Chain A
Amino acid sequence: MRSRQVLTTVALSFVLAAAAASSVGATPVVSKDAALPVGSNLNEEILDQPTERFGFEAAGGKRSYLFNLGDMLFSSAAIFGGKARDAGMSCNSCHQQGAGNAKLFVPGLSSRPGNFDTTGALFNAKADNGVFDPVTPPSLRGAKYLAPYGHDGRFASLRDFVRNVIVNEFAGPEPSGQVLDALETYIREIAFLPNPKLGPGGRLTREASDAARRGEVLFNKPFPHDPSMSCAGCHQADSAFIDHKVHDIGSGGWFKTKTLINARFNAPYFHDGRFDSFDEVVGYFDKHYDLGLAAQDRADLVAYLDAVGDAEQPYTRNTVQAEVDEIAAFVSVLDVAIPARDKEVIGLTVDSVGGEWRELGENFPGRTDTSVSGGLQERLQARAAVRDLVLSLRRVAMAVEGDDFDQAARIYADYKKQTVAAAASLKLAETWSLFNPVVHDAHFLALKQLADLAK
């Protein structure tokens, strides 16, 4: 009876707390022993994650094998090499859930949170271009419409761009054809988030405010000193607000036009993330092109950018169920890979999914985490369930290494049964896990208090 009361109380606080955003953020790297420099922050421990929508969902389709493989690899450090792999970094570290990462910071590679020098020496000495030129990791929403790729538009092909990220930026091994196919498939499916303020042809709908509508007129108005130019000249509303070209707008080089769709959630702005807000961006263009905007004009343009850049439900609270579902989708590639005796995919899956389970398990504080009280038995069982799954996957890899694919198939079949019981254990312990904002904040506050002792 007592434990049930405790459960109810904690569950209630979970529900109440879920309504408010978590107030304690991720902690930066504190150890000189860490793979990344002290002070680095990958902003990994977020509860409210950028919402992900995929093209096939709108078309009533379902996840394909290649999509699942790509989704898994996008979150996997196994395709990278060197420090990036040691640091557990993946595509998702910079492009969280396919969006950007405004808090990403690596001392020596970043000039501010939200940017990163992808051609610095830290991750690959061979890729060092000798220039400190940090850029923002862009949102990948709508990526299939946004060629060319790279801030300077140097890659016509998304596939070439992905290969460059793996091999050059993050020192990974040369990816196989199927790895590139899968990543390209996944990225091409990352869709813009629905925005009721935006209608066909990129025109505002009735949902938009009057100020935004006035801003729309200004956006299409020729510049006073060069009537051949307007904001809409490059950000073409009927073409995902881009023109597929690079331009010199006085920001230090030639950079491609960025989409404005869902851009409210893509700060910081410009290739190097120099601006935090649309207001600063509009102010820059006003000054650089001598537009002579009145305060009201500037406010209207910002309202327009806010409307175009808006999205329905931009963030989604992460849950145990969401994590379990995602891992199930990832591991499903073994349904094909084991019968096909595809050692590459089996190896990548065991490493990647094992890593995902380990990460998920860390959300259930163990005995020595004194910032959490209650639910110890449930937490320990959840941790054990996760470990069991990691080891089952390892046994799959061991069987495959010995060319015993029948044994691998048997172990994988057992693994699938185990996941049902494991999911139940994890959900039972969710109340006392870092998925609960109260527990999350207590844990990260304790980490901060510990770090503060260093002062």
Chain B
Amino acid sequence: MVSNVTQIFRQRALQLGCALAVVAFTAGAAQAATMEAGIKSFKPFIVDHIGKAIAGAKELQTAVKAGDVKAAQAAWIKSRKGWEAMETVTGTYFGDIDKEVDAWPDAKKGYHAIEVVLFKAGKTDGLEAPVAEMLGHLDTFQKRAKSKAFDLTAQKLLEGTANLAYEVGEEKSKGGESPYAGTSIIDMQENVESIEMAYKLVFSDTLKKKEPKLATIIDDRISKLEKLVKVADIKSMEQKKVYVAGEELAALLLTAAPKLGLKPFKVGDEEEGADKPK
């Protein structure tokens, strides 16, 4: 996780070198320019992770064909990690694909229908079709993420980030998002990475200039969340601290919106239109 963050920060520093020279002229433009530059840096993070989700799904396909349960389980986890790291944008921009790939409860399609068979039944039987279908949806996701038409905005990204912070704190008492695989903690770690990347690449610098105190508190909550989910499994996690940190972070990001020149919003206020391909 750390190496990814460092790598993208390096790329970003190079991009910002040019951006800062331009934004030094006017304060008003500086805010937009910085967040726009951040958005440009964040898009590769998404493209990178959909690539990982696809690579894992392809390995899964091969393992399923070979009837190799262990390899299939490892590939499922690999693919799932890529998917979970994109959750800051899936609900807002890829809702139509989200409901196919991450359907719950659904015994016919998506990660979880595959998960039960692989991890609980310990089989690969009957998985060829759902894996192929899921791979098709992931391919579509990748095409759209790479397309120029993928109009990622700071507004929508902040909404997705705050929403994910809230969801990280959602009740995990029954086993979390991947209950059959027992890998929900990995989902959470990837979610937190997604939050951290979105915030630090796109919003952090602008907020530091506008509201340094608030920026410091948000930094603190993200670090806190990161530490809390750095455990072996969700049973070892301090659940209360996680939901409090998640709620606090979501609430702080709501407060940050107007300071960043963005519109106030409600967490999870997704529109039905998010279901339609953009």
Task: Using CB atoms and an 8 Å cutoff, list the residues of chain A in contact with chain B.
Answer: 29-36, 85-88, 351, 354-355, 358-359, 362, 367-371, 376-377, 380-381, 383-385, 387-388, 390-391, 394-395, 398, 443, 446-447, 449-455
Contacts and interface: CB of A to CB of B under 8 A. Distances in A.
Given A33-B179, A381-B269, A450 B247 contact: no
Nearest to B233: A33
A453 B119 CA distance: 10
Interface of B: 91, 95, 98-99, 102-107, 109, 112-113, 116-117, 120-121, 163, 166, 170-176, 179-180, 182, 184-185, 233-235, 239-240, 244, 247-248, 250-251, 254, 266-272, 274-275
Contacts of B120: 30, 453-454
B176 A33 contact: yes
B119 to A, nearest CB: 9
Nearest to B109: A370
Contacts of A381: 269
A419 to B, nearest CB: 14
B267 A446 contact: no
B77 to A, nearest CB: 14
A450 B261 CA distance: 45
B268 A384 contact: yes
B98 A368 contact: yes
Contacts of B171: 88, 355, 358-359, 362
B175 A33 contact: yes
Given A380-B269, A453-B113, A453-B121, A88 B173 contact: yes
B251 A395 contact: yes
A446 B107 CA distance: 7
Nearest to A411: B251
21 contacts: A30-B120, A32-B175, A33-B182, A33-B235, A85-B240, A86-B235, A87-B173, A367-B274, A367-B275, A369-B103, A380-B272, A383-B268, A391-B247, A394-B248, A394-B250, A450-B116, A453-B117, A453-B120, A454-B116, A454-B120, A455-B121
A362 to B, nearest CB: 8
A381 B265 CA distance: 12
B251 A394 contact: yes
Given A446-B107, A453-B107, A358 B180 contact: no
B268 to A, nearest CB: 4
A89 to B, nearest CB: 9
A122 to B, nearest CB: 13
Nearest to A32: B182
B99 A368 contact: yes
Contact of B179 (A34, A358, A367, A394): A34
B175 A387 contact: no
Contacts of A33: 172, 175-176, 179, 182, 184-185, 233-235
A367 B248 contact: no
Secondary structure type dominating chain A contacts: helix
Contacts of B185: 33
A30 B91 contact: no
Contacts of A36: 173
A384 B106 contact: no
Given A351-B244, A387-B268, A446-B107, 11 more contacts: A30-B179, A34-B173, A358-B170, A380-B272, A385-B266, A387-B267, A390-B247, A391-B247, A394-B250, A454-B120, A454-B180
7 tightest A-B contacts by CB? A31-B175, A31-B179, A454-B120, A384-B269, A449-B107, A394-B247, A453-B116
Contacts of A391: 166, 247, 250-251, 254, 267
Contact of B106 (A35, A351, A370, A383): A370
Contacts of B269: 380-381, 384
A354 B266 contact: no
Nearest to A383: B268
Nearest to A380: B270
B234 A380 contact: no
Nearest to B91: A367
Contacts of A453: 107, 113, 116-117, 120-121
Contacts of A385: 266
Contacts of B235: 33-35, 86
A87 B233 CA distance: 15
A351 B171 CA distance: 12
A276 to B, nearest CB: 28
Contact of B240 (A351, A377, A449): A351
A390 B121 contact: no
Contact of B180 (A30, A35, A359, A443): A30
Among B170, B182, B266, max chain A CB count under 10 A is at B266
B251 A398 contact: yes
Nearest to A444: B105
Nearest to A401: B248
A369 B99 CA distance: 7
A83 B185 CA distance: 17
